[in-house]
Amino acid sequence: MESVGSGSTLETSLAGSPLITVPEVMYSSGDISQAVEASVNDLICVMLGGWAMTRKTAFIYDEAMSRHQLRGDHPMRPVRLQHTFDLLSAYGAFDQNTSQLVPPRPACEEELSWFHTDEYIQAVKSFSHGLFEYDMNRFNFSTHGDNPAFLGMFEAAALSTGGTLVAAEMVAQKQVDVAFNISGGLHHAAPDHTSGFCVFNDPALAVMYFLSKGWKVAYVDIDAHHGDGVQNAFFDDPRVLTVSVHESGRFIFPGTGHADEVGKGSGLGYAVNLPLYPYTGDDIYLESFAEVVPPLLRAFAPDVLVTQLGIDTYHSDPLTHLQVTTRGYVEAVREFAKLANAGMPWLAMGGGGYDLSAVARGWTLAYGVMLDVEWPDALPASLVEQVGDGTLRDSTTPSIPDDVRLDARRYADDSVEQIKERVFPTHSL
């Protein structure tokens, strides 16, 4: 930016953009800082309202991601991925000149070993091939529990993980501005065992990939379940800000993610948890989100934004109780898009979601935000039966009793206050 003086013009050239000229204004020497600030604000306004909205996006998907089955009665049904892809295809999402449909690749064992132990990787391979050379219980697998071992498990988990790594590579190499792997976001897996339907922890691996590039990473998780595996991986690392907005562990799995979990050692103040009460609903959810997430992201100023966009916050999800609608979900995603609009690389992953219609509609809306496209509300006729619920966006809001809403408000306010007391000072807020 050129120096500012009497009658000067501020000009800023951004890669891939036209030269932006701020109108000529007369300034005294004492007003130079205000002039610079004003010009930057004008530039941001241009970015948010014009060319920056045509960001390049990648959607990572192949039908192979949706073919496996954990168990016939298991709530995690990979067919939800196919339903999402079908809905996006029907809306013409991949006909957009800014949208790329990119196939995944399997993560190799070396990549998996960045986070997972070699013994665990070999155990997963063994169970995947129908061999039981290892004790399943030792690695938290079982026949009828949350984490069943199934044929083809290693291949399915490696492909999902590889999809996230492909997305991370494309973002890091500036091939795209945003990349979305709906098959990823498996945030519970630990280095040496499975947990919460998650075999390999692709979000942790993606964060490690960006760290290897020397990047500072913000990881924001809006799944209804606390992102414990990712938090634990970086609990003492100030290069990574982990933020999880979730239903309180007092009420659902994994029982963690309380507001007093704020990191340790040099990472103290870099783990953030916003636990919420059952039946919180859109308004309280969004108000609490706005008080915590945007200010922390601005203060931390990461080099890349990594988000887990679980849609199990939805009001009819069979495993959770937050009572969020498509409106609440999409508004949260829009906050991430604001950073992308300002030039921040953005890697997004799917995550939880056990109402098939909500998953397809929610992730379709999320990808629309990434593309800056408003899909028609009427569902494509060919998919009405498959997707259900009549319209893309919710037309009604769940009714929450006043006394429950009051409890939810108090709980959210307390969580926010604890974050402001325990975390904000670390970031000069």
Beta-carbon count within 10 A of 225 CB: 28
Pairwise CA distance, residues 310 & 390, whole Å = 22
User: HSE of 332 in the Cβ direction (CA atoms, 13 Å)?
Assistant: 34
User: Which of 15, 94, 85, 47 lies closest to 373, judged by CA?
Assistant: 94
1 neighbors 7 (Cβ within 8 angstroms) = no
CA 57 to centroid of chain Cα atoms: 15
Q: Please identify which of the residues 188, 225, 246, 315 carries the catalytic annotation.
A: 188
Residue 427 a catalytic site member = no
The CA distance from 397 to 400, in Å, is 9
Q: How far apart are CA 130 and CA 152, in angstroms?
A: 9
Residue with tokens 């990979």: 78
3-state SS, residue 58? strand
Distance CA 130, CA 115 (A): 24
Q: Which residues on adjacent β-strands are paired with residue 20?
A: 12
Residue for token digits 């991949």?
94
The beta strands (E) that lie in 189-341 are given as 217-221, 240-247, 271-276, 304-308
* Exposure string for 6-19, b = 16+ CB within 10 A, e = fewer: eeeebebeeeeeee
As a whole number of angstroms, the longest Cα–Cα distance in the chain is 79
208 contacts 112 by C-beta, under 8 angstroms? no
Give the angle subtended at the CA of 105 by the CAs of 104 and 108, to the nearest 5°. Answer: 145
Nearest-angstrom CA–CA distance, 201 and 414: 30
Cβ atoms < 10 Å from Cβ of 417:
12
Distance in angstroms between the alpha carbons of the first and the last residue of the chain: 28
Residues catalogued as catalytic: 188
